[in-house]
Amino acid sequence: MKDKHLDAPLHVRGESLYVDDVAPPVGMLHAAIATSPVAHGRLLSVDTADAEAMAGVVAAVRANDVPGDNEIGPVIQDEPLLAESLVDFMGQPVVLIVAESAAIARAAAKTVVIEVEELEPVTDPRVAFERGSVIGTPRVFASGDVEAAWDACDIVVSGRSDVGGQEHLYLETQRARALPGEEGRMVIFSSTQSPYAVQRAAAGILGVPAHLVEVDVKRLGGGFGGKEDQATAWGCLAALAAHVVGRPVELVLDRVDDLRMTGKRHPYSADWKLGARRDGTLVAWDVRHYQNSGASCDLSLAVLERTLFHAANAYRIPNVRAFGAACRTNLPPNTAFRGFGGPQGMFAIECAIAKLAETLGMSREDLQRKNLIAEGDTLHYGQVTERCNAQRTWDECATRNEFSALRAEAERFNRANTDKKRGLAMMPVCFGIAFTGTFLNQASALVHAYTDGSVSVSTGGVEMGQGLTTKLAAIAARHFGISPGRVRVETTNTTRIANMSPTAASAGTDLNGGATMLAIDRIKAGLFDFLARELGVDPGSLTLDGDAVYADGADTGWDWPKLVSAAYMNRIALSAHAFYATPGLHFDKTKEHGNPFAYHVFGTAILGVTVDGLRGTYEIDTARIVHDLGRPVNELVDLGQIEGALGQGLGWMTMEDLRYDPDTGRLLSNALSTYKAPDLFATPRDLQVTLLDAENPVGPFGSKAVGEPPLMYGIGVYFALRDAVRGFVSDRELRFDAPMTPERVLMDLYADDSGVLDSGRRAAE
Ligand code: MTE
Ligand code: LUZ
Ligand code: MOS
């Protein structure tokens, strides 16, 4: 199906409603936050007298106003909602000011005087690790015997790679609105990927049972992982304020506050060793990942786990040892971001492969192709690949796009030009689909058919722009056998769906689509039993297609509206709730082996760039992708996901330069003037996506998840840039340090080891 995203007309006309577009309830107040001025310290005093004296200020809320537990950590309880005695990152919430307008609240928050005794902040994960500042315990995923394998290698390369964080930059900044009701009820409208996380945390903060808190989500103006867990604090703060003042309260972060107060993609530093035989066959991979987790756990341990799952990307390596440590630093807690640690894991192995190729004098592509996983290979965490399309997507990508011709053309260009050089890279991706925390792979749906034939579907899935609503409506219509216009997907609400998992891990369609189909099965079974009695046929002979009911393929004269209204008159249920749990998943954390994923998504991209050797600037000319989506539920929506993910991935690898002051922990890239995000002009002009002809028996209607995997094609851009830089300086040692900003390119071309630029240097080489 190629239908448009259901929200597209609303977005274009500006009619889509977000949290604060709904008319405010009578008496609603606004909140703003006073935050820690330092990255690490002890609170000495907090003076809110000036703020409270301002006209229009209603309350100043502190940690001791929390009626329940002042604690919102999702995995480890290490995160206070409002700071009590210690502050662990700059921008950490300390006081909540509630006022008649957002402008007054913000102005008042600025007058709060927070006195601290400063403690030394740590911003570097390696320093944190040396000092034993580690969250949880380090994990090691291993297969074979790495130590014993080095002897079997003809060549071993080692090195270090560093990769930066990334700002989510959702268009809609974090926000929530809380409405107190009777008997302690609190209704929260939140921009969250995880309504249940907000409900659970807010109930804990308010000290009430979860059933007193209702969370409702219509849609998000983007989440990208940044609202998988980190929408919770703002929902809780709005609820706390509403509880204290007994009136509705809205909390909206402006862009600058959102940038400095929220966590981002985790920066990683890695040490590695890769061993191979002379012909390029990989033998052993040893990698140590130091994750910059920020000040509290948040989702860091789950992110780290996925880094270790994807530590070998799509390559067959018989001996693997992947170590990972979540290193606690004094930065805002880093969090989920599209790919969830997978991209950082893949970046390190791709760096090692680049170095090995250079050392062997082999092309990077030959080395990659030679070692791609195949059907039936056992991955280093014990899962055996099924319907493995790694080699298929690679070969189709290389052949269809005539990679060798592209290579020859780039070489011709590079011989003819001295100031500009072209670079190429291929990037294979193998990404596991399922939450790595097995218990999260569950979902429910509540489906109603009304007597007029219209249908309402509620699930725990959140629409964040990815088109989940569009795909769920299509799945429901198709599974019923009714026309798509009859189906409406409702808001995501904790009273209709309990204990929902976040919409994340790219699994939104699989999980919520799976539950929706089960609920529809129940309704249809009841309807067909009823109709079979009416018609005197076997219920198994009945089918619905395009609103018409058939018996053994022959028209019965019954259609959908007639069926539901007749069923209603005969007291047949027209509603059903169903529960779905992804089958076949298990993982043994004591052995770090198991079957964590329902399946893998495969694909390969060719990336091409042109670098200007005088300016360090570049253009991303080409992205040609062959991607495995199975049989997409909505091809147009999924193509949008692939293109958007690529854009986000190449931004991370090239221009998005997230910087904190290493000494003070202050965010330096704290506005869109200092943090550059890709726009349309960064999109490759030659962008071609081809879908692999493949089927996925375990996805809805044969489809595969789409959201995250294509982000990792962006990693190929880094290696295409490196390839182009190699065209200028063929045998200089180059660092592995992403993002490859134009500044970094210039450093690679002209700087000596101490970082001093020398314009004569390149000419001399
Ligand atoms: N696409 C849009 N437009 N906006 C988003 O916030 N989030 C991404 C991806 N695509 C996102 C998006 C992330 S991080 C994930 S995990 C998936 O969508 C989540 O949705 P799904 O599970 O329904 O694919
Ligand atoms: N969230 C999570 C995720 O809790 N577990 C995961 O495995 C995951 N993967 C991707 C994105 N979010
Ligand atoms: Mo996406 S990082 O799973 O929200």
708 carries an active-site annotation = yes
Phi, psi of 295, rounded to the nearest 5 degrees: -80, -20
Instruction: Identify the residues whose C-beta falls under 6 Å from ligand 3.
Output: 193, 223, 225, 228, 336-338, 340, 504-505
Nearest ligand atom owner, CA of 220: 1
What are the helix and strand counts (H, E) for the chain? 20, 30
Residue whose CA lies nearest to ligand 1 atom number 8: 224
How far are the Cα atoms of 235, 248, 533 from residue 239, in angstroms, in the given order? Answer: 6, 8, 52
Query: pLDDT tens-digit profile of 480-527?
Result: 999 999 999 999 999 999 999 999 999 999 999 999 999 999 999 999
Tell which atom from ligand 1 comes closest to the C-alpha of 706: 24
Site to substitute for ligand 1 among 338, 463, 629, most atoms within 8 A of C-beta: 338
Residue nearest to atom 8 of ligand 2 (CA): 505
DSSP-assigned letters across all residues of 418-466 = SSEEEEEEEEEEEEEES-SSGGG-EEEEEEEE-TTS-EEEEES---SSS
Q: How far apart are CA 420 and CA 413, in angstroms?
A: 9
pTM (predicted TM-score): 0.97
Q: How confident is the model at residue 230 (pLDDT cuts 50, 70, 90)?
A: very high
Q: Using only C-alpha atoms, what is the Rg of the chain?
A: 27
Pairing outcome for strands 686-691 and 618-627:
parallel
Atom of ligand 1 nearest to the CA of 337: 14
Per-position DSSP letters for 130-191, written without gaps between them: HTT-EEEEEEEEEES-HHHHGGG-SEEEEEEEEE--B----SS-SEEEEEE-GGG-EEEEE-
Confidence of residue 758 (pLDDT cuts 50, 70, 90): low
Pocket, ligand 1, Cβ cutoff 6 A: 222-225, 338, 464-466, 468, 503-509, 641, 644, 707-708
3-state secondary structure of 194: coil
Which atom of ligand 3 has the smallest separation from the CA of 337?
A: 2
Output the pLDDT for position 752. Answer: 77
> Which numbered atom of ligand 3 lies nearest the CA of 338?
2
Q: What is the mean pLDDT of residues 454-475?
A: 98
Q: What is the pLDDT of residues 96-135, one digit of tens each?
A: 999 999 999 999 999 999 999 999 999 999 999 999 999 9
Reported as a single tens digit per residue, the pLDDT across 151-171 is 999 999 999 999 999 999 999
The mean pLDDT of 43-60, rounded to a whole number, is 98
Q: ∠86-87-89 over CA atoms, to 5°? A: 155
Residue 700 Cα to ligand 2 midpoint, Å, equals: 20
Pair 548, 479: CB distance under 8 Å: no
pLDDT band at 1; cut points 50, 70, 90: low
Strand partners, 270: 161, 289
- Per-residue model confidence (pLDDT) at position 760: 56
Q: How far is the CA of 193 from the centre of ligand 2 (A)?
A: 12
Q: Which of 220, 307, 338, 464 to mutate to test the pocket of ligand 3 (most atoms within 8 A of CB)?
A: 338
**Centre of ligand 3 from the C-alpha of residue 77, in Å:** 21
User: Considering every ligand atom, which ligand is closest to the CA of 193?
Assistant: 3
Length of the chain measured in residues = 765
Over the stretch 530-574, which tens digit does the pLDDT of each residue have? Answer: 999 999 999 999 999 999 999 999 999 999 999 999 999 999 999
Contact 97, 115 (CB under 8 A): no
pLDDT computed for residue 486 by the predictor: 98
Within 10 Å of residue 242's Cβ, how many Cβ atoms?
29
Name the token pair of 545.
């297609």
CA distance 268 to 141: 17
* Helix residue spans in 361-423 (DSSP H): 364-370, 390-400, 403-416
Cα distances (angstroms) measured from residue 380 to each of 144, 306, 385, 596, 670: 8, 13, 11, 12, 40
- Rounded to 5°, angle at Cα 268 from 718 and 619: 20
Query: Cα(483) to centroid of ligand 2, in Å?
Result: 34
Query: Six-digit token pair at 326?
Result: 């979540």
Higher pLDDT, 273 or 75: 273
Q: Ligand 2 — pocket residues by CB below 6 A?
A: 228, 299, 302, 306, 336, 340, 435-437, 440, 504-505
- What HEC string does 683-698 produce? CCCEEEEEECCCCCCC
CA of 229 to the centre of ligand 2 (A): 11
Contacts of 4 (CB under 8 A, 6+ apart): 470, 636
Say how many Å lie between the CA of residue 464 and the centre of ligand 1.
6
pLDDT tens-digit map of 243-267: 999 999 999 999 999 999 999 999 9
User: Ligand 1 centre and the CA of 255: distance in Å?
Assistant: 21
193 — pLDDT class (breaks 50, 70, 90): very high
Q: Which ligand is nearest to the CA of 223?
A: 1
CB hemisphere CA count around 651 (13 angstroms):
25
Between CA 703 and CA 710, with CA 708 as vertex, the angle to 5 degrees is 85
Residue nearest to atom 3 of ligand 1 (CA): 465
The two three-digit tokens of residue 199, written as one number: 């409900």
Q: Please check whether residue 95 is in contact with residue 43, taking contact to mean a CB–CB distance below 8 angstroms.
A: no
Helix (H, G, I), strand (E, B) or coil at 401: coil
Spatial separation of the C-alpha atoms in residues 102 and 175, rounded to whole Å: 12
d(CA 396, CA 605): 10
Q: In whole angstroms, what is the distance from residue 324 CA to residue 139 CA? A: 5
Map tokens 């939140």 to a residue.
190
Give the number of other CB atoms < 10 A from CB of residue 348: 31
Q: Which of 219, 299, 464 to mutate to test the pocket of ligand 1 (most atoms within 8 A of CB)?
A: 464
Percentage of residues in the chain having pLDDT higher than 90 = 97
Residue of the nearest CA to atom 4 in ligand 3?
225
Nearest ligand, measured from the Cα of 511: 1
Nearest ligand 2 atom, CA 436: 7
Candidate from 506, 516, 712 with most ligand 1 atoms within 8 A of CB, to mutate? 506
Ligand 2 atom 5, closest CA: 435
CA 91, 92, 93, 94 dihedral sign is negative
Span 722-751, pLDDT tens digits: 999 999 999 889 999 999 999 999 999 998
Average confidence (pLDDT) over 695-718:
98
The answer to which of 77-81, 506-510, 550-554, 756-760 has the lowest mean pLDDT is: 756-760
Residue 269 pLDDT greater than 70, yes or no: yes
pLDDT tens column, 399-456: 999 999 999 999 999 999 999 999 999 999 999 999 999 999 999 999 999 999 999 9
Q: What is the pLDDT of residue 762?
A: 54
**Contact assessment for residue 259 and residue 174, using Cβ atoms and an 8 Å cutoff:** no
Report how far ligand 2's centroid is from the alpha carbon of 10 (Å). 30
Token couple for 703: 């489809």
Q: Answer for the pair 253, 174: CB distance below 8 angstroms, yes or no.
A: yes
Query: Could you say which ligand is closest to the alpha carbon of residue 645?
Result: 1
* Chain mean position to CA 271: 25
pLDDT tens string 684-699: 999 999 999 999 999 9
Catalytic residue among 250, 358, 396, 708: 708
Q: Which numbered atom of ligand 1 lies nearest the CA of 222?
A: 6
Which atom of ligand 3 lies nearest, measured to the CA of 193?
4
Q: Measured between alpha carbons, how far is residue 333 from residues 129, 131, 179, 536 in Å?
A: 16, 18, 28, 64
Distance 700 CA to ligand 3 centre (A): 20
How many whole angstroms separate alpha carbon 540 and alpha carbon 737? 61
State the Cα torsion 712-717-723-729 to the nearest 10°: -120
Separation of CA 226 and ligand 1 centre (Å): 10
Which of 227, 228, 706 to probe ligand 3 with, by most ligand atoms within 8 A of CB?
A: 228
Which of 192, 194, 190 lies closest to 239, judged by CA? 190
From the list 172, 181, 178, the residue with the least C-alpha distance to 61 is 178
DSSP state letters, 73-138:
-SSSS---SS-SSEE-STT-EEEEEEESSHHHHHHHHHH-EEEEEE------HHHHHHTT-EEEEE
Q: Cα 178 from chain centroid?
A: 26
In terms of DSSP bridges, do strands 268-276 and 282-294 run parallel, antiparallel, or are they unpaired? antiparallel
What is the CB-side half-sphere exposure of residue 172 using CA atoms within 13 A?
Answer: 24
One-letter amino acid at 411 equals E
Of all ligands present, the nearest one to the C-alpha of 706 is 1
- Residues with Cβ within 8 Å of 409's Cβ and at least 6 positions away in sequence, in order, are 422
Select from 76, 435, 500, 711 the residue to mutate for testing ligand 2; criterion: most ligand atoms less than 8 Å from CB: 435
CA distance 149 to 164: 31
Collapsed DSSP state (helix, strand, coil) of residue 29 = strand
Mean pLDDT of the chain: 97
Burial class (CB in 10 A: 0-12, 13-18, 19+), 588: exposed
Calculate how far, in angstroms, residue 128's C-alpha sits from the geometric centre of ligand 2: 25
Return the ligand 1 atom nearest residue 461 CA.
23
Q: Both tokens of residue 411?
A: 């070489």
Q: Which ligand is nearest to the CA of 221?
A: 1
Q: Is the pLDDT of residue 764 over 50?
A: no
CA distance 658 to 667: 8
Nearest CA to ligand 2 atom 11: 505
| Side chain identity at residue 680, one-letter code | L
CA 472 / ligand 1 centre spacing (Å): 14
Query: Could you give the CA distance from residue 479 to residue 502 in angstroms, rounded to a whole number?
Result: 24
Q: What per-residue confidence (pLDDT) applies to 177?
A: 98
Confidence band, pLDDT 50/70/90 cuts, at residue 360: very high
Which atom of ligand 3 lies at the shortest distance from residue 504's CA?
3
